[in-house]
Structure 1
Amino acid sequence: MAVVSSSPILLPLRMNLGSSSPNIPLFSISSRPSNRPRPIIVFSYTEAGDGLASEEKKLLLERYGLDPDEFLSEPPPPKTRRRKELQKRGRGKSVQPPEEPKPPRATHKLLQVLGGKARRKKLLSPKGMDVRPMMEVVKGAAFDILQAASGCPAALRPGRWLDLYSGTGSVGIEAISRGCSQVHFVEMDPWVVSDVLRPNLEWTGFLDVSIIHTVRVENFLERAEQFVGKDGSFDYISITPPYTEVDYGVLMGQISKSPLIGDDTFIVVEYPSRTDMLDACGCLVKITDRRFGRTHLVIYGPTWAQKKRKP
């Protein structure tokens, strides 16, 4: 800090307030002609850990006519520290633009029940590719094969059906319509369950004989014993997963070792091209493997239902 005065020039010296030596002169005075510019007093000091106390510094500064508040006040924090302090208080945070709301999901009626009690009833399905229901030509072929293999060409034999990756529920609803006594639906998307699957069950009148599990298929398989309960294994299992989100080798390995299947269980699996399916799933053998364009359908069942091969 510089102080302008009319007194003779005081040569600038560095004064260590922390020094306790009384022999060091504080100022050096020299006489100058009166016609020279106004003299300047320069006063500076450095801090030391074992120097004068704050009260002694204050008295010393007042003795020489200087303002102690200006010399002893702490310097303002640098910009970086100030910016951090503002961010801690919530004031300097970068403002993120609000996310655009996603358009509401909608449904349409493009599916229908192909046979049985609810034949020709329309079913809801989501618009877009969020859920990919089984094609009706594939679904019709699957139930025709199951009915013929189980010895009841006109209908399914009564039993319990497990519909994995159920989505719209069209496969499980078809099973109830054709003679199944109960269907367990496994679907992880709450919106699909509340706005598609449940309304379809209410519309067809099958809600009372349906059990919905809003859970991932992987978690359902891990707790298979809990879901099987006293009723034992299922008579039918349908597996129609999203092609790109599952590993068929891992999935079929889990199912083959689970208590969900029994000696008389039929398993219907829809899978894409360039996927290798085993000839057996646990104690079940491959009954048929058909192709519908880029979609393939394989059905596993008990050995007594396997078609006789031509010699």
Structure 2
Amino acid sequence: MRVVAGKYGGRPLKTLAGQTTRPTTDKVKGAIFNMIGPYFDGGQVLDLYAGSGSLAIEAISRGMDQAVLVEKDRRAQAIVQANIEMTKETARFRLMKMEAKRALAQLTEAFDLVLLDPPYAKETIVETILDLEQGGLLAPGAMIVCETDKEVELPDSIGASRKWKEKIYGISKVTIYDID
């Protein structure tokens, strides 16, 4: 696995062995960012189930200003930290070592891009998007990228968020919501 494009493009990323995390493939990661960007002119990104941190690092590589990564698994946290250090710009990243719901209760900034790839997708995504909205954590015009198994059907709208695009890549489905 590597950073696909941007400032850190081509740099290798570490991943956690085993089934604890499911890293987004380079192909899917490239497709996601081509749909939503592919490059950004600043902004805040939240990677709520960071895994290896590759999606948030890709967003910073492509022009986002700051990233908050949330990961509860201790072994995955070490991988995220190593990948952040690879960027040589650690001040642009904040790793919150806790479960997603607890992090949402502590966050106060509004995010322009939210990345959601939770272990139990359908139930978690709907609840999480509503929590983000109710907590004032979504900036005007924010985009929410959800990565799930291709069998997961997400609703056309969740709160003020509307489904904008949806594509299947092998066994993965990417659903993108934007804020009305």
- TM-score higher than 0.5 here? yes
- 1:293 Cα offset (Å): 2.0
Give the distance between the partners of 2:4 and 2:85, measured in 1 at CA. Answer: 17
Amino acid at match of 2:83: N
Matched, 1:127 2:17: yes
1:202 aligns with 2:93: no
Following the alignment from structure 2 to structure 1, what is the Cα–Cα distance between the partners of residues 11 and 113? Answer: 23
Judge conservation of contact 2:147–2:172 (CA < 8 Å) in 1.
Answer: yes
Provide the rounded CA distance (Å) in 2 between the counterparts of 1:278 and 1:255. 16
Question: Could you list the runs of 5+ residues in structure 1 that have no partner in the other structure?
Answer: 1-110, 148-152, 304-311
Question: Of 44, 52, 59, which aligns to 1:168?
Answer: 52
Higher strand share: 2
Which runs of structure 2 are paired with 1:15-94 in the superposition (5 Å)?
none
Counterpart of 1:112 in structure 2 is: 2
Secondary structure at the counterpart of residue 126 of structure 1? coil
Counterpart CA distance in 2 for 1:249 and 1:284 is 10
Identity of aligned residues (%): 29
Q: Which protein is bigger by CA-based radius of gyration? A: 1
Q: Aligned to 2:84, what secondary structure does the other structure show? A: helix
Is there any run of 5+ residues in structure 2 with no aligned partner, and where?
none
In the TM superposition, residue 236 of structure 1 has moved relative to its aligned partner by 0.6
Cα distance in 2 for partners of 1:291, 1:256 equals: 26
How far residue 273 of structure 1 moved from its aligned partner, in angstroms, is: 3.0
The answer as to whether partners of 1:270 and 1:296 remain within 8 angstroms in 2 is yes
C-alpha displacement of 1:220: 1.6
Structure 1 residue corresponding to 2:28, chosen from 116, 138, 163: 138
CA distance in 2, matches of 1:302, 1:253: 12
1:215 maps to a residue whose letter is: M
Partner of 1:257: 134
Aligned residues of 2:49 and 2:117 also touching (Cα < 8 A):
yes
Q: Which residue in 2 is equivalent to 1:233?
A: 110
Task: Tell me what 1:40 maps to.
Answer: none
Task: Give, as a single letter, the amino acid of the residue that structure 1 aligns with 2:63.
Answer: G
| Rounded Cα–Cα distance in structure 1 between residues aligned with 2:146 and 2:95 | 20
AA in 1 matched with 2:174 = L
Say whether residues 1:297 and 2:174 are aligned partners: yes
Q: Does 1:214 align with 2:97?
A: yes
1:272 has 2:149 as partner: yes
Alpha carbons 1:243, 1:272 under 8 Å: kept: no
1:158 pairs with one of 22, 42, 46:
42
The structure, 1 or 2, with the larger RCO (C-alpha pairs under 8 Å, 6+ apart) is 2
Q: How many residues are matched?
A: 180
Tell me the CA shift for residue 288 of structure 1: 0.2
Kindly indicate whether the alpha-carbon contact (under 8 Å) linking 1:285 and 1:301 is maintained by their aligned counterparts in 2. Answer: yes
Alpha-carbon distance between aligned partners in 2 of 1:247 and 1:210, rounded to the nearest angstrom: 24
Query: Which one of the candidate residues 259, 273, 282 is aligned to 2:159?
Result: 282
